[in-house]
Amino acid sequence: MQCLRWGLLGTAHINRRLIPAMRAAERSRVVAVASRDGARADAYAREWDIPSAVAGYEALLDRDDVDAVYVPLPNSLHVQWTLAAIAAGKHVLCEKPLALVPEEVDQIAAAAAERRVIAEEGFMYRHEPLTGTVVRLIADGAVGALRTISSGFTYAQSRAGDVRLDAGLAGGALLDVGCYPVSYACLLVGKDAVAAAAMSRRAGSGVDEEFSGLLRFAGDRTAAVYAGFRAAYRTWLEITGTEGWMRVPNPFKPGEREVIEVERMGEQLPVEVAGSPLHFVRQIADFVASVIDGAPPVMTLGESRRVAAALAMLRASAEPR
C-alpha cells in the first residue's frame, strides 16, 4: 500500500496536534523533522519518536524519503517555504493563513501546477462533518436566502515572546484567529468580498490584538468578523437569512457531538452532528487522498485566494491613517 511520507518543516507548537493525526490517518507516516538548530531537531525527534532529525529546512526538502511537507512556520514565512517545497517537488500542507495577499496564492498555484504537486492551506475545520452540514443546510435554504454572517474567535494571549505578537513575522489577531471567521464567510457566500471596513486595537509591538471588520459581498450579503487576544477563549458563528437563523456551536473546533440551532419561520429545527474523536485526522486523510488517489482538495487554492483577498482588504482598511 502506498504511503505518504511526511517531513515537518519546523518544531512549532501546533505540531503536537498534527503528529498524532498523521499517525492515526491511513497511508500516512512522519519520517523527518527539520529545525534551523540541529540540536533542537535531534531533541524534538527523540521526544516525538520521529526517525530522522535534519539541520536546516533546505536539507529536509532535499531528502528523497519525504513526499510531503507540513509548514507550521510563522505567517511571514509561509509563502517562501511553500514555494521552496514545491520547487523541490514536494506536496505541501501549509498552516493558515497560506498567504497575505491574493497574488501570492497565484504564485503558489502556478508553481504547484507546473510541478504537478498538491498545495493546500491547513484549515482543519473545513474537513469536519459540522462544516459540511452547515454548508448543505445553507445551500438547501434552511434559513432562506443568506443575508448576514457574524463570527469570531478570541483567546487570551499570554505567552511571552510568542511569534503572534511579532509584527515582523506577520503576527496579530486577524491573521492568527481572525482568518477563521473570514474563511467561513467566504465559504458560505462562495464569492469574493467587494468591500471591507475595519478597525483594530494595536499592542505595543505593533500587531493588532483586537480586530473588528465588516465584509460586503455581491448581493448585499455581509459578514461581521471579530478576532482578539484580550478575552477568554470563545468561538461563534451565527447566520441570518430571509426566513430564519442558524447558530453553530464550536465552528472551528467541533466536539464529538454538536447540535446546530436552526429556526425557520418561527419553528425550531435543531440538527445533530457527530464529530471527530481526534482533530486533524480528517484533514490529513483528505490530503493523502488528494496526493495518492487524485481526489480534489477540500480547501482549494481558489478558496485560499478568496480568503487572502478578504484579509488584505480588512488589513488595508484598519491601517492607521
In contact, 123 and 183? CB cutoff 8 Å: yes
Sign of the CA dihedral with 52 first, then 57, 63, and 66 last: positive
CA gap 118, 92 in Å, rounded: 6
Per the annotation, the verdict on 90 as an active-site residue is no
CA geometry: angle 321, 165, 72, nearest 5 deg: 120
Sequential DSSP letters for 235-300? EEEEEEESSEEEEESSSSS--SEEEEEEEETTEE--EEEE--SSTTHHHHHHHHIIIII-PPPSS-
Q: DSSP characters for 216-233?
A: EETTTEEEEEEEESSS-S
Burial 261-270 (b: 16+ CB within 10 A, else e): ebbbeeeeee
Reading the block at residue 198, the C-alpha cell is 475595519
In angstroms, rounded to a whole number, what is the distance separating the alpha carbons of residues 194 and 93? 28
In contact, 315 and 199? CB cutoff 8 Å:
no
Alpha-carbon span 55 to 60, nearest angstrom: 8
Instruction: Specify burial of residue 140 (Cβ count, 10 A radius: 0-12, 13-18, 19+).
Output: exposed
Total residues found in the chain within this entry: 321
The single residue of 90, 96, 191, 253 carrying the catalytic annotation is 96
Apex 241 CA angle, 239 and 243, nearest 5: 130
Which residues belong to the active site?
96
